[in-house]
Amino acid sequence: MWKEFKNFIMTGNVIEFAVALILAGAISLVVNGFVNDIVMPIVGQFAGGMDFGSMKHVLNPAVIGADGTIVSPENAIRYGAWINSIINLIIVGFVLFMIIKAYNKTKKPPEEAGPSGPSQEDLLTEIRDLLKK
């Protein structure tokens, strides 16, 4: 059983999948950083200087004790983070679209068949007719 598991793990598909998964995690960090640190400040500037990441609707405010410790944390709907996630999704979708579009351009178009000559039957009929003459 161990040998079968080792053979399964060491196949190319599993290793390629693991590498793809690790790269996807790294790309996710890069895209999130791009959206949160570059795109959202620009979008916020055009939207009147607001920071989408901090937008929320407080359901219950935090309760702070006399000594300054938090007795009960704030309960809020953080819709600004959700807006960031939607913009993140749009950017990732656009980038994937551009990658697939570029990949499709690199693919070799199917070769068109040139002008077809006479069929084998036509050639045999022509040879037969020539032999009769």
| pLDDT per position as a tens digit, 47-58 | 787 777 788 898
Reduced DSSP (H G I as helix, E B as strand, rest coil) percent helix, strand, coil of the chain, to 5: 65, 10, 25
Residue 126, domain member (yes or no) = no
Identify which of 15-24, 75-84, 102-111 has the greatest average pLDDT: 75-84
Cα 95 to Cα 34: distance, rounded to the nearest angstrom = 12
Q: How many residues does the chain have?
A: 133
Contact call for residues 113 and 87 (beta carbons, < 8 A) = no
Q: Which residues contact 125 (CB under 8 A, 6 or more apart)?
A: none
More confident residue, 37 or 6: 37
Give the residue numbers spanning the domain of 102: 2-106
CATH of the domain at 92: 1.10.1200.120
Average pLDDT, the chain: 82
Average pLDDT over residues 57-69: 88
In a domain, 86, yes or no: yes
In a domain, 127, yes or no: no
Residue 101 inside a domain? The answer is yes
How many structural domains does the chain have?
Answer: 1
Residue 42: inside a domain:
yes
Confidence at 12, pLDDT banded by 50, 70, 90: low
63 beta partners: 72
Indicate whether 35 belongs to any domain.
yes
